[in-house]
Structure 1
Amino acid sequence: MEEFELNIENRTALGTSASRKVKREGKIPGVLYQGDKSIPISLIEDEIRPIVDKNGSDVLVNVNLNGKRIKAKIHEVQRKPVSDEILHVDLMPLDGGKEDSFGVH
């Protein structure tokens, strides 16, 4: 299975207006699971779109977050039904998302 590289960033502002702002910046809101918690993130749309358009959501990715490289699987991609616009992406780390493995609390 082919693996892809993704750069992600922590997202501190949450909610609808914050998500709209992220989208205006050319990014897509998402979540990276960490144990029983989830970390709000943003992904660069130009990086993620070709990956999910070609391969669907069953894809392995190497994500770069806070200087750490994490192997993850794209767990779910939410899209608008008519326009097929990507609304949200969930990432599941392959190491189970152990606490502190991402350098984020």
Structure 2
Amino acid sequence: MEEFELNIENRTKLGTSASKKAKRKGRVPGVLYQGNESIPISLIEEEIRPIIGKNSRDVLVNVNLNGKKIKTKIQEVQREPINDVILHVDLMPLDNIKEDASKVH
């Protein structure tokens, strides 16, 4: 499983209009899940595109959010079907994955 480093930022402005403005500036909206809540984030498209490539499975991403390092896995990538533009990225911290697995047993 490959590992990558990535800087992410909190997204303060939400909604379609804010997402379109961010995309024009080369950013991709996303979500970082933390327990039962989610943190809106934004990523630089030039940095995330080579990480995702054509296959986003089994990719670990060490993200830096406000100086805090978090080991995550790409949970889901939404793309525009015709031109393959990345629309949204969901990241799941590995700690949450372990906690969720322990709750099942």
Give your verdict on TM over 0.5. yes
Is 1:10 matched up with 2:22? Answer: no
Amino acid at match of 2:31: V
Give, in angstroms, the shift of residue 85 of structure 1. Answer: 0.4
C-alpha deviation, 1:83, in angstroms: 0.3
Structure 1 stretches lacking a partner, 5+ long: 98-105
* TM-score (ref. length: structure 1): 0.88
- Whether 1:80 and 2:102 are equivalent positions in the alignment is no
CA RMSD in angstroms comes to 1.3
2:17 and 2:24 map into 1 onto residues whose CA distance is 11
TM value normalised by structure 2: 0.88
In 2, Cα distance between equivalents of 1:87 and 1:72: 19
Aligned to 2:63: 63
Q: How many residues align?
A: 97
Q: Secondary structure at the match of 1:13?
A: coil
SS at match of 2:53: helix
Query: 2 CA distance for matches of 1:82 and 1:54?
Result: 14
Larger Rg over CA atoms: 2
- The CA distance in 1 between the partners of 2:57 and 2:80, in whole Å, is 15
Task: Indicate conservation of the 8 Å contact 1:70/1:93, yes or no.
Answer: yes
- In 1, distance between residues paired with 2:56 and 2:33? 19
Cα offsets for 1:47-87 (capped at 9, x unmatched): 10011115424310000001010000000000000001000
* Alignment correspondent of 2:102: none
Gaps of 5+ in 2: 98-105
Name the residue aligned to 2:43. Answer: 43
